Structure 1
Amino acid sequence: MKKSALLFIVSILSGFLYSQVLTDPFQSYDLSIECETGKIFGTLLIPNTKAPFPVALLISGSGPTDRDGNQPNMKNNSLRYLAENLARQGIATLRYDKRLIGQSKTGQRESDIRFEDYIGDAKKWISKLKQDARFSKVIVIGHSEGSLIGMIAARDAKADMFISVAGVSKPADEVILEQTKGLPSHLHNETIAILDSLRKGKTVAHVNPNLAALFRPSVQPYMISWMKYDPSKEIQQLRIPILIIQGTADIQVGVDHARQLAASAPRAELKIIENMNHVLKIVEADRNKNIATYMNPNLPISDELVKAITDFIKNNESRYIH
C-alpha cells in the first residue's frame, strides 16, 4: 500500500514538473565569454515566441553582486525577477556574474580589477548578442553602478537602446561623500581625506577599521579607476533611445540623480516609480522595512518597472540611431 501510494505521488509530481516545462514561457541557457584571465558566466533566457525578438543585457550594481542581483547575506533576486518578467513579455535577457563572483572565478585578485574591466566585459556580451541572428535589437539595462558601465559599453559596442535603473549622475567620489554624510564627523572627515588621496591616484595604506569595508586597500585601485568617470557627461555621448528609471523609496540613490541624468540627455525618457526601492521592490515608508526587502527573495519586483521597460523597448524596436 505504501509503495503504491509513493508511486502515485511520484507520478503526480512528474506530471506536474513535465507540465511546468511545457508551459514555461521561456527557455534558459548557460553562456560564457572569455576574458584575459578566465571566463565570465551568465544565463540567457529565450522567450517561447518566434524569433527575431529583442534581447536585454542586465548589468548589476556595485559590490559582490551575482547575476540574480544577490550578494552574500543579501538575497533578493531582483535581477532574476527582472529577467524572467521581461522574458514573459517576449524580450530575451542575458544576466551574468561579475568577475570573482558566482561562477565567474577569473583567477584575479580584487586589487587587479579596474572599472574598465567591467566595461570591457559588458562590451563583449553586447558583441556576442549582436552576432546572434535571433535578436532584433540589443538593449543594455544597467542597475546602480551598472548604469555607468552600461552607458559606456552601449556606446562603444553600439547597442540599440540604453536603460538606466537607479543610476547615479555624479562621479563615484561625490556619491560616496553623499552616502556617508550621516557618519560621525571624525569618520566623515577621514572619508574626505581618503577620497582626496584617491583622486590624486594615491592609495591609502592605513584605513580606520570602521571604514575598511568601503576603503580596504585591495579595492582602492578600482575606486581610483571608477572615479574618473562622470555619468552626466558619459550619457551625453549616447545617440540611441534612452530610458532613465528611478524609485522614490530608494535610500541609496535619490530621484535627483535621475533628473540630472535626464537633463544631461534631453532626448531621454524619464520614469519615476512611486515607492520602488533600490532592489526594485515596492515598499512602505519605513526604513527598516525597506532594508528588510534586500534580504527577501520571495517579494516580487515592481510591476510598473517591468511595464515601463517593456513599453520602452517595444515602442523603440523600429528605431535605429547611431
Structure 2
Amino acid sequence: MTSRHPIKALWRRLTPAPTPSHSRLSRDPSIKQRTSNTGKLMLSVAVLLSACTGITDLSARPQDPVDRRYKIEEVRFAGGPGVTLAGELTMPQTGGPFQAIVLISGSGPQDRDEALAGHRPFLVLSDHLTRAGFAVLRYDDRGFAESTGTFETANLYDFADDAAGAYRYLQSRPEIDNAAIGYIGHSEGAYIAPVAARQTDPAFMVFLAGAARPLFPDVIATQSADLMRAQGADEATIDAAVTQFHAGSSILKQQAPLSEIRDDLDNYLTSQGMGRRDRREVLDQFATRWGVSHANYDSRAELRSLSNPVLALLGEKDLQVSAKEEAPAMRASLRHPGSEVQVIAGANHLFQPSQTGLPSEYSDIETTISIDVLNRISTWISAL
C-alpha cells in the first residue's frame, strides 16, 4: 500500500467474517502465535480505518443537493509552502458579510466533498450550512484531485498549514466577516484544526468524530480492538494486537532519524511474525512523517490551550473514534465555557443512523449525515 490511500480489495481481505480459528487461538497459550496470526490483521486494519474508507460507487444519495440556489465559485488559493489548493466557495445569494466555515477532511487523500463509501458528506454539509446563511469553503487535499503538492510525504503540520491557508483566503474576501470564521474538522480534521488555530485564531471550531486522546497509540488501539470485538475476535487476540500498537507507537515516538525509526519498527514487526509484504504496508503507513508527527503530538495539551468555543460531536456507535473513551477526555480538555461535547445516539463515524457501527455498513446506509446532526451544527454556530 502506498501512503494512506484506501484500497477496497485490502478492506475485503482484512475484514473476514469470524471463523472457528478465533476460538482455537483463544486456547493457544503462545502469545507469539497470537501476535503472528493477528499482527497482519491488526496493524493493517488500522491502516485502512485511519484512512476512513475507500471511495466506492458515487451514485446519487437522497441527501445529495439537486437545486443549489446560492452562489457557487470555483477557487484556488495558497496552502502550505509551494501548495495551491483547489476548492469551492459557496455563499448565500444576498446579504453579508457572512459567518464563514472551512471544512477539514479526515485521514487519507480526500476531495472537496470528502467522497467515501458512496457518499459526499462535505457536499451535503456545505449545502446545509450555506442554506442556513453561512459561507463555506471546502477544498481538495494537497496532491489530490485538482490541488497541487504531495500528499504522501505530508504530516499533521503540513495539513494544518493548508487549513490555515483556506482561512486566510476567506479573510481576503470582502463578503466574509473576518471576525466570524471557524473550522469544522471531521475525524483527523479535528486534530488538524487546533494546530491551524495557532496561526489563525478562529472564532469557533466544530469537531465531528474527533478524538481528544492521542492517535498513537490510544485511538488506533481502541479502534482496532472495537472493530475486532465487533467481528467476534476473542479477548486474548485483541489484547495481543493492542500490545503491538503500544510497542509500535513507542518506536514512532523515538527522537531519531526517520530511517532508524523505520528500521526499528521493521525489526519489531519481524519479531512478531509479520511477513515482508505486510511489514512494508505498515511501514509505508506509519513509519512516515505523518506517523511520527502524530506519535509526538500532545492532543490533550493542544485542546487545553484553545481560547475559542468548540462543539464536539461523537457517534455513540462509532467504531473508529470511540465516544465512550473520547467524550470524557474531550470534556476534561476543553476550557472555553461555551464549548459543548455531545454524543449522538445510534450514530456511526459518518453520523449516519447505524445498527453496528462497522465501516462495512457505511455504503449500505442511504442517509449521508443525520438531519439532527446537521441542525445541531448550524444552530450552535448561529447562536455564537
TM range (shorter): 0.7 to 0.9
Which residue identity is paired with 2:346?
N
Evaluate the alpha carbon distance shift between residue 297 and residue 215 of structure 1 in structure 2; reply closer, same or farther with a 3 A threshold.
farther
Evaluate the alpha carbon distance shift between residue 29 and residue 219 of structure 1 in structure 2; reply closer, same or farther with a 3 A threshold.
farther
How far the C-alpha of 1:211 sits from its partner, in A, is 5.8
Within the alignment, does 1:263 sit opposite 2:321 as a pair?
A: no
Q: After the TM superposition, which of the residue ranges 239-248 and 254-263 deviates more from structure 2?
A: 254-263
User: 1:129 maps to what in 2?
Assistant: 170
Q: 1:229 aligns with which of 284, 293, 297?
A: 297
Contact persistence 1:249–1:277 (CA under 8 A): yes
User: 2:58 maps to what in 1?
Assistant: none
Q: C-alpha separation between the residues in 1 aligned to 2:164 and 2:206?
A: 15
Q: 1:47 aligns with which of 87, 92, 116?
A: 92
Contact persistence 2:83–2:142 (CA under 8 A): no
Evaluate the alpha carbon distance shift between residue 217 and residue 302 of structure 1 in structure 2; reply closer, same or farther with a 3 A threshold.
closer
User: 1:216 maps to what in 2?
Assistant: 284
Q: C-alpha separation between the residues in 2 aligned to 1:133 and 1:223?
A: 38
How far the C-alpha of 1:105 sits from its partner, in A, is 3.5
Q: After the TM superposition, which of the residue ranges 151-160 and 211-220 deviates more from structure 2?
A: 211-220
Contact persistence 1:31–1:41 (CA under 8 A): yes
User: 1:30 maps to what in 2?
Assistant: 74
User: 1:204 maps to what in 2?
Assistant: 262
Paired residues for 1:138-287 under 5 Å? 138-173=181-216, 174-181=218-225, 182=228, 184=237, 188-201=242-255, 202-205=260-263, 206=266, 208=274, 209-210=277-278, 212-216=280-284, 220-255=288-323, 256-266=325-335, 267=337, 268-283=339-354, 285-287=355-357
Contact persistence 1:271–1:308 (CA under 8 A): no
Q: C-alpha separation between the residues in 1 aligned to 2:295 and 2:210?
A: 15
How far the C-alpha of 1:272 sits from its partner, in A, is 2.0
Q: C-alpha separation between the residues in 2 aligned to 1:217 and 1:282?
A: 30
User: 2:23 maps to what in 1?
Assistant: none
Evaluate the alpha carbon distance shift between residue 133 and residue 245 of structure 1 in structure 2; reply closer, same or farther with a 3 A threshold.
same
Q: C-alpha separation between the residues in 2 aligned to 1:100 and 1:243?
A: 30
How far the C-alpha of 1:196 sits from its partner, in A, is 1.9
Contact persistence 1:204–1:217 (CA under 8 A): no
Q: C-alpha separation between the residues in 1 aligned to 2:286 and 2:342?
A: 37
How far the C-alpha of 1:59 sits from its partner, in A, is 0.3
* Percentage of pairs with the same residue: 25
User: 1:319 maps to what in 2?
Assistant: none
How far the C-alpha of 1:33 sits from its partner, in A, is 2.0
Q: C-alpha separation between the residues in 2 aligned to 1:214 and 1:49?
A: 50
Contact persistence 2:124–2:368 (CA under 8 A): yes
Evaluate the alpha carbon distance shift between residue 212 and residue 261 of structure 1 in structure 2; reply closer, same or farther with a 3 A threshold.
farther
Within the alignment, does 1:120 sit opposite 2:191 as a pair?
A: no
Residues 5-55 of structure 1: per-residue CA shift (max 9 Å, x gap): xxxxxxxxxxxxxxx99x633222112222433311111111223111211
Under a length normalisation based on structure 2, what TM-score does the superposition of the two structures give? 0.69
How far the C-alpha of 1:291 sits from its partner, in A, is 2.8
Which residue identity is paired with 1:199?
K
Aligned length in residues: 289
Q: C-alpha separation between the residues in 2 aligned to 1:116 and 1:77?
A: 25
User: 2:142 maps to what in 1?
Assistant: 99
Contact persistence 2:185–2:207 (CA under 8 A): yes
Under a length normalisation based on structure 1, what TM-score does the superposition of the two structures give? 0.81
How far the C-alpha of 1:154 sits from its partner, in A, is 2.3
Contact persistence 2:77–2:86 (CA under 8 A): yes
Which residue identity is paired with 1:286?
T
Aligned to 1:305, the other structure's residue is in SS state: helix
Q: C-alpha separation between the residues in 2 aligned to 1:84 and 1:140?
A: 16
Contact persistence 2:212–2:303 (CA under 8 A): no
How far the C-alpha of 1:220 sits from its partner, in A, is 2.0
How far the C-alpha of 1:64 sits from its partner, in A, is 2.0
Q: C-alpha separation between the residues in 2 aligned to 1:46 and 1:211?
A: 47
Q: C-alpha separation between the residues in 1 aligned to 2:329 and 2:246?
A: 24
Contact persistence 2:142–2:151 (CA under 8 A): no
Compute the RMSD of aligned alpha carbons.
2.5
Within the alignment, does 1:315 sit opposite 2:373 as a pair?
A: no
Q: C-alpha separation between the residues in 1 aligned to 2:173 and 2:129?
A: 19
Q: 1:292 aligns with which of 344, 347, 361?
A: 361
